[in-house]
């Protein structure tokens, strides 16, 4: 009996070991790992074994996020890429939610993708620890491309001269509104050129006329009931994405110029955050974080007339264009400076990749607007390459395409994005995620009207300063 159980035990252990070995093999890249796959690999010490440069098949793992619509467009881009480079197979994994969690788990399990989307705040520490390639190492070697072909502001740097890549696409902020509601309220359409941009008081006036309670009275009416609002004049994100473009416009910043102290306690920043809180609590033209949680997503809220003006990134054009709603575009309001901001995602090549050359080929493919022109033409993305902003022939390929790009688009969104660009703090503040976990609740307290912006920001100043580690861009 004892013998049998011992044998049994050994058998079980053996089975487990064998299955682990098999699994281990399976998780390896299913390419013949005999050195570099690319025969004309510059820094490679291997000499190709055969004279003809028939390339070994290579499989790239690529992870990305995006709506179902983006997924379809990405799959088409991947298929075209595989057609052009028949020896490369791209195993594209669409991760619609919880992207950081999954990527963290992949990196921890030595299963990191060869190339993947990464949120800026996660990419910066990864790059500092040497987990991401400096994209300039590839671009400088590339006879077809120059760094200057791209928009300089699209690169995110973790140190001088060191960038792990560009935004997955350009973005730019603006105001998007339901034209029908403007007509009903007798409000003129929003300005689209920088010289006519609204100041803050003008914005409040317009928003008041567009905010209606359940009985149809607007916010200027003495009997207006702000507990029964049916239609909000304006909406914006309740976090830094919402206030930072305006704080920058007012001349404030998230962190001080020298990267040593908290920036939202600067008078300009406090004033702006207070102004945003007043939109909610004094003028009652914007939903509080509580109400905005339950208003449908961006484009749908304009379509359903729950919101008249939406201050956000131009990616909403995709949904607005598809919704069939009659919408217009306005340039961001101007406090002191005209400011527009980007998105957050970056496409990066991981150091752990066994096929960096092929990963770069794919990176180039993604960075080239031609490979995903429909995503640009339908309003979701803006091109990363300069000539698409300067050469009328190339501009026409995307910025003239209706319905996603209504009249005024080029001045209000495209040119502002080109000339008045300011990155979000998540791309230049060190330790941003931790800091913002302290800042965000304080912002919420302000927006809920529980405290003034000054008290809220001053109350966390010490705590934030203890977490500040500097800036990546200085």
Partner 1 sequence: MFTSPAVLGFILFAAGPMLASLVMSFTNYSVIGDVKFIGFDNYTRLFTGEAPFYFKSIMVTVYLVVLNVPLGIIGAFLVALLLNNKVRGWSILRLVYYIPTIVPIVASAMIWMWMMNPDFGLLNYLLEELHLPTSKWLFGEDSVIPSLVMMAVWSTGNIMVVFLAGLQGVPHHLFEAIEIDGGGTFRKLIHVTLPLMTPIIFFNAVMHMIASMQTFLQAYIITDGGPNNSSLFYVYYLYREAFTFQNIGGSTAMAWVLFVGIATMTGLAFLTSKKWVFYEGDD
Cβ at position 105, least distance to partner 1 in Å: 8
- Cβ neighbours around 340 below 10 Å, total: 26
Cβ at position 294, least distance to partner 1 in Å: 4
- Whether residue 301 contacts residue 235, with contact meaning beta carbons closer than 8 Å, is answered with yes
- Nearer to partner 1 (CB atom), residue 31 or residue 452: 452
Residues near 219 by beta carbon (within 8 Å), at least 6 away in sequence? 207, 208, 209, 211, 226, 233, 283, 284, 285
Please tell me whether residue 462 binds partner 1 under the rule CB under 8 A.
Answer: no
Among the listed residues 39, 72, 76, 107, the single contact to partner 1 using CB under 8 A? 107
- Nearer to partner 1 (CB atom), residue 19 or residue 33: 19
**Which part of the chain contacts partner 1 (CB under 8 A), choosing from 3-11, 23-31, 48-56, 318-326?**
3-11
- Nearer to partner 1 (CB atom), residue 387 or residue 450: 450
- Whether residue 321 contacts residue 379, with contact meaning beta carbons closer than 8 Å, is answered with yes
Q: Which residues of 89-119 are buried (b: 16+ CB within 10 A; e: fewer)?
A: bbebeebeeebeeebeebbeeeebbbbbbbb
* Residues between 432 and 461 that touch partner 1 (CB under 8 A): 433-434, 437-438, 440-441, 444-445, 448, 450
Whole-number Å distance between alpha carbons of 258 and 22: 54
C-alpha dihedral, 294 to 300 to 306 to 312, nearest 10°:
90
Question: Which residue has tokens 């920036």?
Answer: 263
* Per-residue contact string for residues 284-323; x = within reach of partner 1 by CB under 8 A: ---x-xxx-xxx----------x-----------------
Cβ at position 119, least distance to partner 1 in Å: 10
- Nearer to partner 1 (CB atom), residue 80 or residue 440: 440
Please tell me whether residue 8 binds partner 1 under the rule CB under 8 A.
Answer: yes
Greatest extent of the chain over all pairs of C-alpha atoms, in Å: 93
Cβ at position 297, least distance to partner 1 in Å: 13
- Nearer to partner 1 (CB atom), residue 178 or residue 420: 178
Among the listed residues 32, 101, 199, 220, the single contact to partner 1 using CB under 8 A? 101
* Residues between 356 and 385 that touch partner 1 (CB under 8 A): none
**Which part of the chain contacts partner 1 (CB under 8 A), choosing from 1-9, 183-191, 243-251, 403-411?**
1-9
Please tell me whether residue 470 binds partner 1 under the rule CB under 8 A.
Answer: no
Length of the chain: 474
Taking the alpha carbons of 30, 35, 38, 43 in that order, is the dihedral positive or negative?
Answer: positive
- Number of continuous H segments (helices) and E segments (strands) in the chain: 20, 11
CA 362 to each of CA 90, 367, 411: distance values in angstroms, whole numbers, following the listed order = 9, 9, 32
Please tell me whether residue 4 binds partner 1 under the rule CB under 8 A.
Answer: yes
Omega within 30 of 0 (cis) for the link into 195? no
- Whether residue 208 contacts residue 233, with contact meaning beta carbons closer than 8 Å, is answered with yes
* Residues between 108 and 167 that touch partner 1 (CB under 8 A): 108, 122, 125-126, 129, 131
- Nearer to partner 1 (CB atom), residue 163 or residue 306: 306
Query: Footprint of partner 1 on this chain (CB under 8 A)?
Result: 1, 4-5, 8-9, 12, 16, 98, 100-101, 104, 107-108, 122, 125-126, 129, 131, 229-230, 287, 289-291, 293-295, 306, 433-434, 437-438, 440-441, 444-445, 448, 450, 463
């Amino acid at each position: 009996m004892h013998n049998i159980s011992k044998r049994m035990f050994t058998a079980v252990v053996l089975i487990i070991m064998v299955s682990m070995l098999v699994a281990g093999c399976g998780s390896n890249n299913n390419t013949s790992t005999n050195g570099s796959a690319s025969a004309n690999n510059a820094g490679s010490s291997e000499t190709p074994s055969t004279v003809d440069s028939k390339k070994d098949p290579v499989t790239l793992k690529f992870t990305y996020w995006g709506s179902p619509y983006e997924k379809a467009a990405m799959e088409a881009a991947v298929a075209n890429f595989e057609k052009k480079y028949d020896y490369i197979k791209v195993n594209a994994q669409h991760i619609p939610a919880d992207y950081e969690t999954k990527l963290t788990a992949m990196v921890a399990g030595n299963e990191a993708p060869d190339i993947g989307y990464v949120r800026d705040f996660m990419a910066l520490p990864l790059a500092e620890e040497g987990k991401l390639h400096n994209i300039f190492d590839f671009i400088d070697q590339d006879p077809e491309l120059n760094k200057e072909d791209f928009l300089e502001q699209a690169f995110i740097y973790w140190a001088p001269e060191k960038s792990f890549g560009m935004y997955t696409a350009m973005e730019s902020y603006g105001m998007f509104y339901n034209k029908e509601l403007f007509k009903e309220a007798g409000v003129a359409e929003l300005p689209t050129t920088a010289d006519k941009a609204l100041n803050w008081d003008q914005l409040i006036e317009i928003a008041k006329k567009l905010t209606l309670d359940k009985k149809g009275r607007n916010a200027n009416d003495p009997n207006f009931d702000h507990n029964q609002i049916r239609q909000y004049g304006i909406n914006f994100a309740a976090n830094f994405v919402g206030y930072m473009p305006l704080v920058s416009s007012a001349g404030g910043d998230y962190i001080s110029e020298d990267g040593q102290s908290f920036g939202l306690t600067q008078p300009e920043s406090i004033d702006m955050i207070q102004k945003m809180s007043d939109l909610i609590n004094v003028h009652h033209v914007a939903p509080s974080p509580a109400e905005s949680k339950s208003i449908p997503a961006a484009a749908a809220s304009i379509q359903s007339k729950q919101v008249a003006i939406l201050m956000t990134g131009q990616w909403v054009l995709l949904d607005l264009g598809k919704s069939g709603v009659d919408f217009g575009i306005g340039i961001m309001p101007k406090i002191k400076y005209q400011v527009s901001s980007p998105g957050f995602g970056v496409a990066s090549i991981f150091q752990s990749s066994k096929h960096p050359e092929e990963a770069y080929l794919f990176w180039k493919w993604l960075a080239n607007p031609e490979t995903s022109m429909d995503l640009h033409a339908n309003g979701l993305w803006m091109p990363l390459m300069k000539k698409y902003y300067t050469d009328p022939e190339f501009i026409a390929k995307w910025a003239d395409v209706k319905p996603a790009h209504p009249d005024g688009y080029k001045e209000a969104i495209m040119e502002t994005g080109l000339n008045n660009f300011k990155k979000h703090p998540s791309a230049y503040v060190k330790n941003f995620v931790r800091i913002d976990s302290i800042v965000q609740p304080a912002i919420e307290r302000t927006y809920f009207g529980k405290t003034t912006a000054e008290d809220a920001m001053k109350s966390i100043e010490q705590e934030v300063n203890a977490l500040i580690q500097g800036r990546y861009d200085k």
